[in-house]
Structure 1
Amino acid sequence: MYDGAATERWATEPDKRPGRTAFQRDRARVLHSASLRRLAGKTQVVTPGSSSQVWDASPRTRLTHSLECAQVGRELGAALGCDPDLVEAACLSHDMGHPPFGHNGEQALNDFAKDCGGFEGNAQSLRLLTRLEPKRFVPSAESGEMVSVGLNLTRAALDAATKYPWPRGAHPTDPGSVKFGVYEDDLPVFDWVRRGAPAHRKCFEAQVMDWSDDVAYSVHDFEDGLHAGHLDPNCLFAEPERQEIFAVAIGRYVPEDTSPDELSAALDRLLDEEWWPHGYDGSAVAQARLKDATSQLIGRFCLSAEGATRQAYGTGRLTRYAAELVVPREVRHECAVLKAVADRYVMQRDEQERLRADQRIVIAELADALTARAPEGLDPQFRALFTGAADDRARKRVIVDQIACFTDAAARSLHARLTAPRGHRP
């Protein structure tokens, strides 16, 4: 169950609409946030408009992925006894911190921010939720000036959205990992969120969010790749192609001690299902069959996790730190194979690599241009933060925060304006 500590907010505030639960308020705040809306203009896997094909003109974005993740997570969480509004709020907000150009932009920003704490999309999400998204302001205890507390979500909602509950360099098993969930200057609110939580352990709702994220993007990236014509379904039967897929999966999507035979068995299990979209040709009947296959896959992955978790913990409500989500090894392999297929045939296409190279240049040059001209080019919110920053490190973090908020199109537009030869700027 959820006690007073779970529903506590960093800044106490009255409920303007009595009768709502604390987690219904959290969900509403995330849904109405500008940060969520901006995800509509941010790359998920394929950049919108990067191809002349009709389907490629409207691939999934970070927003559509977040909505699909939220639908999966809400139902899976409810089936296991979690508060559905809490899990949905976590799923909706888990990708808010991702910058323009997807993981490619994330890597470019991390390079720029290496001397001010680095960049990580999940740490940026916490920063948005607790500091940058303008919703609640309170007097500072030190200066009395009004400071933002972001959306001021409950402790449980912030914890549920935290996929990596440790700062940079503190991964519990891999200190060199680039994954972390909080920047150094956000540690006070992170420590408040994690008060009483076991070190490095994700709460149950965050585990549900994390698996729902995996399920949604593995299934839908595969669907988009097939629908766009990037993937020939017959290649999944060809041994050389299969070995390439397994090589992509091992180390990136499954542990390095996973054998290719395990992944081969996982792929064969999927191919043997009567609903698998064999012979996909883009016709209306084939599209309907593909859509049914995505539903079957989501159901398969979620029901397997639900059943295995219930077998381990019984039929009671599972919340916070009372349980661990159990996903059978075989099911994780099936999910990983789908990720690897999308990686191999969608993300590794030659034109995508050329586009990613150009995107990295845009981020690097935009960061340098803003640094040279700031506060020119910054939105009013970030201009004020830049002017009030205590030192160069803090000012650089403001520039990172601004770039991370841009959509793909906004980043390109500002880059063109700031880097155009003098006299040619619009």
Structure 2
Amino acid sequence: MSTTGSSIAAGTALAPPPAGYTAPDLERWVQEPPKSQTRTPFQRDRARVLHSSALRRLGAKTQVLGAGADDFVRTRLTHSLEVAQVGRDIGTELGCDPDIVDAACLSHDLGHPPFGHNGEKVLDRIAEDFGGFEGNAQTLRLLTRLEPKIVGDDRPYGLNLTRACVDAAIKYPWARGEGPDPDSPKFGAYADDLEVYRWAREGSVPGRKCFEAQVMDLADDIAYSVHDIEDAVTGRALDLRRLQDPMERSAALFVVQDWYMPHESLDALDEALTRLEAEPYWMSGFSGTFRAAAGLKDMTSQLIGRFTRSAVRATREAQGEGPLSRYAGDVVVPESTHLEIAVLKGLAAAYVMSSATQQPVYEAQEEVIRDLYSRLWNTGTQYLSPLFAELWRAAADDTARRRVVIDQIASYTDVTARRLHEVLFDRDITHITAADTPLPGLGSEL
């Protein structure tokens, strides 16, 4: 299988690209046989992500509260579906291809490991000496290498999406240590994925996300901020009436500032919260009744509409009325909207993620991940799934083999990680292997 970046077999005609896109945007990392033209290449990309095993696994991965902690609580999968809906609507209004945005939104969290951002931090510390770990870089790795779909003679090529779709999924368009803040843990590609990363970014502006990735990023922020508040309220971790107490309000806004807006004053954050509280749909109390549940859902919908309308209006005022795609424009988010979104994200952080009750949970999660890494690294292919065992055997050196172990652990759901840890550390494991351990994630798929 060739790595020419061409998506067309010799002599095969291709329908012209959609408005706002060029032939290079439709190219794939490796050539594929011609397919029916009843679907656009971008519709095909979206379908590949939607049917991927990586997307299914997000159903058992932590969003904010642990997956399975509550029948109502969102998982990475439900969050991704909601981001895709918000992003698709914004993209349609602004004129970029909605299927590219949809595919990018569905993809944006594929690389997250078990236990959410806590798991991401633990894996980054473990992998510090051989490239680190970052959920968005892992997403690129899944899309272009690890998700089983297209396999060549020399290596697997993941879902082999079009250039435009891969670029749209790159939230941090730089390698490790090369971003605007060299100390930031955020980056978009590991060293051994730079070749496909550079291919995806051909024709790009260095350090600048393409327009579709900007829409995805905004949709993620909107969904994250609004839905995490909804989960916190229904889970009784947050009672919005408590924010009327001056001391509690100040403490909560300090967390907002510390986590998300370190360069903003507490007064500016308080003003943003006050604006939201002044809206007629803002719920200061939640009783759990039908009327209260409907009111909370209305608040969720109204906030999403408020933020999307604000960004669409500001973008149109700045960029004009024509369709916007690729590098033809930028998403504009007013500072007032940016602050309001940050306040909601920070409130979820204050009452859920930074809660003292979560610290023992985080410590237990870290122990699970560190124990699994140690055992998997020291036992070769014994506990790797067949897919990762194949990658281990093909690895050129210990650095590549360590990355295989990280890839395997990152693929686990919260449930699988805990159950495998129980099997490996709480039982006699002398004769247990991946092949006969009846756990999800240890079969033929990732």
Report if TM-score (shorter chain) is over 0.5. yes
Encode CA deviations 1:224-280: one digit per residue, 9 max, x unaligned.
0001111112112221112112211224212x2211111111101110101111222
1:178 aligns with 2:176: no
Return the letter of the residue paired with 1:319: S
SS of alignment partner, residue 152 of structure 2? strand
Q: Is the 8 A contact 1:109 1:119 kept in 2?
A: yes
Using the TM superposition, give the Cα deviation of residue 17 of structure 1 relative to its aligned residue in structure 2, in angstroms: 2.7
Distance in 2, matches of 1:355 and 1:417, equals 20
Which residue of 1 is the match for residue 8 of structure 2? none
Which residue of 1 is the match for residue 386 of structure 2? 380
Encode CA deviations 1:107-143: one digit per residue, 9 max, x unaligned.
1111111111100000000000000001011234xxx
Q: 1:273 aligns with which of 273, 279, 288?
A: 279
Q: Matched residue pairs, number?
A: 413
Q: Is the 8 A contact 2:423 2:429 kept in 1?
A: no
1:223 aligns with 2:230: yes
Distance in 2, matches of 1:423 and 1:313, equals 62
Which residue of 1 is the match for residue 441 of structure 2? none
CA shift in 2, pair 1:23/1:133, >3 Å:
same
Which residue of 2 is the match for residue 39 of structure 1? 58
CA shift in 2, pair 1:275/1:405, >3 Å:
same
Encode CA deviations 1:279-319: one digit per residue, 9 max, x unaligned.
22111100000000000000000000000000001110011
1:65 aligns with 2:71: no
Q: 1:153 aligns with which of 161, 166, 180?
A: 161
SS of alignment partner, residue 138 of structure 1? coil
Which residue of 2 is the match for residue 211 of structure 1? 218
Which residue of 1 is the match for residue 409 of structure 2? 403
Q: Is the 8 A contact 1:207 1:325 kept in 2?
A: yes
Encode CA deviations 1:128-170: one digit per residue, 9 max, x unaligned.
0000001011234xxxxxx211000011101100000101110
Identity %: 54
CA shift in 2, pair 1:35/1:261, >3 Å:
same
Q: Is the 8 A contact 1:369 1:419 kept in 2?
A: no
Distance in 2, matches of 1:49 and 1:20, equals 37
Distance in 1, matches of 2:204 and 2:429, equals 57
Which residue of 2 is the match for residue 7 of structure 1? 26
Encode CA deviations 1:15-65: one digit per residue, 9 max, x unaligned.
433221110000000000000000001000101344xxxxx2441000000
Encode CA deviations 1:307-355: one digit per residue, 9 max, x unaligned.
0000001110011111111000000111111011111111223332211
Q: 2:268 aligns with which of 245, 262, 273?
A: 262
1:77 aligns with 2:85: no
SS of alignment partner, residue 281 of structure 2? coil
Pick which of 277-286 and 377-386 moved more.
277-286
Q: Is the 8 A contact 2:239 2:284 kept in 1?
A: no
Which residue of 1 is the match for residue 129 of structure 2? 115
Using the TM superposition, give the Cα deviation of residue 425 of structure 1 relative to its aligned residue in structure 2, in angstroms: 7.9
Distance in 2, matches of 1:425 and 1:288, equals 53
SS of alignment partner, residue 250 of structure 1? helix
Distance in 1, matches of 2:360 and 2:431, equals 26
Distance in 1, matches of 2:234 and 2:145, equals 40
1:11-410 matched pairs, under 5 angstroms: 11-50=30-69, 56-140=70-154, 147-172=155-180, 174-254=181-261, 256-410=262-416
Instruction: Note the aligned Cα RMSD (angstroms).
Output: 1.3
Q: Is the 8 A contact 1:130 1:189 kept in 2?
A: yes
CA shift in 2, pair 1:15/1:245, >3 Å:
farther
Return the letter of the residue paired with 2:244: F
SS of alignment partner, residue 139 of structure 1? coil
Distance in 1, matches of 2:255 and 2:179, equals 23
SS of alignment partner, residue 382 of structure 2? coil
Return the letter of the residue paired with 2:208: R
Encode CA deviations 1:182-216: one digit per residue, 9 max, x unaligned.
00000000010111111111001101000100000
Q: Is the 8 A contact 1:245 1:337 kept in 2?
A: no
Distance in 1, matches of 2:205 and 2:315, equals 20
Distance in 1, matches of 2:214 and 2:201, equals 15
Q: Is the 8 A contact 1:418 1:425 kept in 2?
A: no
Q: Is the 8 A contact 1:377 1:414 kept in 2?
A: no
Which residue of 2 is the match for residue 143 of structure 1? none
What is the TM-score of this pair, normalised by structure 1? 0.95
Which residue of 2 is the match for residue 144 of structure 1? none
Higher relative contact order (CA 8 A, sep 6+): 1
Distance in 2, matches of 1:334 and 1:29, equals 35
Return the letter of the residue paired with 1:35: A
Q: Is the 8 A contact 1:165 1:201 kept in 2?
A: yes
